[in-house]
Amino acid sequence: MSVNKEGRVMKKSQSLFLVLFLALGGLFFGSPLLTKNRTSNAAMVMDLLNPFVKNSTVYIKTTNEFISTYKSQGSDEENYVYETNSFTEKGNNRTLKYISFEKKLTPNKFLKVTTKGQDVRRWEEIEKSEVPEKALKKLEEK
């Protein structure tokens, strides 16, 4: 009789493990669908921590419109927070939030941005000629 109880406990444990495994798998694989084009800190952190979200490159044309500013700790310099549309080399649109530390960006410049989902890893100013054709076409339409 105790063998039967142990067997049921083992089956319940295996079922619970399978459910948890599938739930975590669904979270990791499904979270990019939930976080895409979301500019919240939670979306950025989820993508940063998700091992299945890969780095990608998008392109941005700067504007003088920032959404907020804040001072750096230990400095009186302002940081500028921007939220804008970006485009992949294939011309696919993505909304991103990024920060320019201690300087306001010059409008109508082009940025090459490396992201991990919604988390902006780094960006650099590039020449217009370095922007892929399909991304440039979309950026020029804005």
In the chain, where the domains are located? 41-141
Instruction: Report the predicted TM-score, pTM, of the whole model to 2 decimal places.
Output: 0.74
Predicted confidence band of residue 4 (pLDDT cuts 50, 70, 90): low
Q: What is the pLDDT of residue 56?
A: 92
Query: For residue range 25-68, what is the model confidence (pLDDT) as tens digits?
Result: 655 565 665 667 677 777 778 877 788 888 999 999 999 899 99
- Per-residue pLDDT, 40: 73
More confident residue, 46 or 78: 78
CB 116 within 8 A of CB 94: no
Quote the pLDDT of residue 73.
Answer: 80
Tell me: pLDDT of 128 over 80: yes
- The span from the CA of 27 to the CA of 50, in Å, is 9
CATH of domain 41-141: 2.40.50.480
Q: Is the pLDDT of residue 1 over 50?
A: no
Q: Whole-angstrom distance between the N-terminal and C-terminal Cα of the chain?
A: 73
Q: What is the pLDDT of residue 139?
A: 94
Helix then strand then coil, in percent of the chain rounded to 5, is 40, 30, 30
In tens, the pLDDT along 81-96 reads: 999 999 999 999 999 9
3-state secondary structure 43-88: HHHHHHHCCCCCEEEEEEECCCCCCEEEECCCCCCEEEEEEEEEEC
- Is residue 97 within 8 Å of 82, Cβ to Cβ? yes
